Amino acid sequence: MPTRGYPTEFKTVAFTLERFDESAGTVEGYASTWDRDEDGDAIVKGAFAKTIRERVPAGKVKLLDSHKWDSQHVIGTVTEAREEDRGLWIKAAFSGTAEAQAIRQKVLEGHLNSFSIGFEVIRDEIKRDPNGQTTRYIYEVKLYEVSVVPFPANENAVILAAKSVVPFQDLPLADRDRPWDSDAAVQRVRRWASSDGSGEKDTIDWGRYRRAFVWYDSADAENFGAYKLPIADVIDGRLYAVPRAVFAAAAAVQGARGGVDVPAEDVPAIRRHLARYYAKMGETPPWEQDSIDALLAELKYGRRNSSADFERIANAIALLFEVLNDDEKAQVLERLAPSAGPEDEPPPTDEGEKGAATEPPASVPALMAELGVLEAELDLLETEVA
């Protein structure tokens, strides 16, 4: 709707953004189309060109709750926009505040599914058609805000999708050595989230159910198949994040066992979500560590010639061992025993004869084989992630 009566000039003070949580989510859809709306206005394609070029990149187009121009009702910012054949497509990032997330939740549940725009008309023209109908054609606008509304002036201005990384739930952690069986855990979560304990689809509290996952398809939010990356189980009637489930989800995000089918733009938010559980465990997520491929490549070219390199390799082996139980560790060590070097062989150091060239250690092929076995063992033992 046009901003008749709305202020169009403000004085502002800049501030520094300290933190932005991508898990707060995004929303996208058509904020306006080229159709004639109920107000008798038809915005002409090209009218938003200057706004898209100048205002959107500068963060000057805000996402509001129902055209309420005050700080409490700013629920996000438009981050992308383009004119398409259908109309003005926008993508906006929600704030992480409770007010913004309450609106986002209503979007995800389908209670709110429309956009409306607040703008200043720069250039327009009124025309009357042969049937006597008057239409105002708007050729250029200055866009100030896009609002999430229950009833738009243009009924074709609809929200297409709300990205659906589940906000961080800060669940308590289960014991570190608790086994993880995703199928069994999901069944327990279904019973826990259902009104009668049956776990049947028509009894599920979907808001409660999604707390056990990192990602879900908001367009299909009331189907079990829409939920991916489970990380929680029900223990004594309470939902806990399971460390091995978090490790498995992180491995899937990294591409293990074929990876997980989620939108690429959601991966950073998924990683942020999982990283917060890693932090609770005092661990570093795998995407912040050196990859085993890089270590193998270094070994191949004889670059393991310092104590720092030794520490990196030892840490990688320790991380791989985390997913194994005691029996599995014993089996892996048994496989490695034939290629192990003397027990009293010290780790390499940076010291040596002055001026002497540092040669790759003779155990490089053996170490490469050991790491290769460990990597294969990890691949076999990684938990299947939905």
In this prediction, residue 291 has a pLDDT band, given cuts at 50, 70 and 90, of low
Residues 190 and 299 in one domain: no
Residues 151 and 220 in one domain: no
Query: Is residue 118 predicted with pLDDT exceeding 90?
Result: no
Q: CATH number of the domain that 136 lies in?
A: 3.20.16.10
Residues 276 and 335 in one domain: no
In a domain, 335, yes or no: yes
Residue 49 has a pLDDT of 95
In this prediction, residue 51 has a pLDDT band, given cuts at 50, 70 and 90, of very high
Model pLDDT for residues 260-270, shown as the tens digit of each residue: 888 877 888 88
In a domain, 354, yes or no: no
Residues 273 and 189 in one domain: yes
Residue 63 has a pLDDT of 92
Provide the mean pLDDT of the chain: 76
Domain boundary at 133, 162, 191, which? 162
Query: Is residue 125 predicted with pLDDT exceeding 60?
Result: yes
Domain boundary at 127, 162, 197, which? 162
Which of 82 and 265 is assigned the larger pLDDT? 82
Residues 219 and 314 in one domain: no
Query: Is residue 15 predicted with pLDDT exceeding 60?
Result: no
Mean pLDDT of 10-25: 40
Residues 31 and 145 in one domain: yes
Distance of alpha carbon 168 from its chain centroid, rounded?
Answer: 11
Mean pLDDT of 303-325: 65
Nearest-CA neighbor of 323 among 176, 211, 173?
A: 176
Residues 78 and 118 in one domain: yes
Residues 228 and 131 in one domain: no
Residue 79 has a pLDDT of 92
262 within 8 A of 228, measured Cβ to Cβ: yes
Query: Is residue 3 predicted with pLDDT exceeding 70?
Result: no
In a domain, 172, yes or no: no
Residue 152 has a pLDDT of 60
In a domain, 224, yes or no: yes
Tell me the percentage of the chain whose pLDDT exceeds 90.
27
Domains of the chain: total: 3
Residues 128 and 259 in one domain: no
Residues 337 and 211 in one domain: no
In a domain, 260, yes or no: yes
In a domain, 195, yes or no: yes
Residues 282 and 294 in one domain: no
Query: Is residue 10 predicted with pLDDT exceeding 50?
Result: no
Which of 285 and 366 is assigned the larger pLDDT? 285
Domain that holds residue 236: 182-286
In a domain, 171, yes or no: no
Residues 199 and 157 in one domain: no
In a domain, 8, yes or no: no
Residue 109 has a pLDDT of 74
Residue 110 has a pLDDT of 73
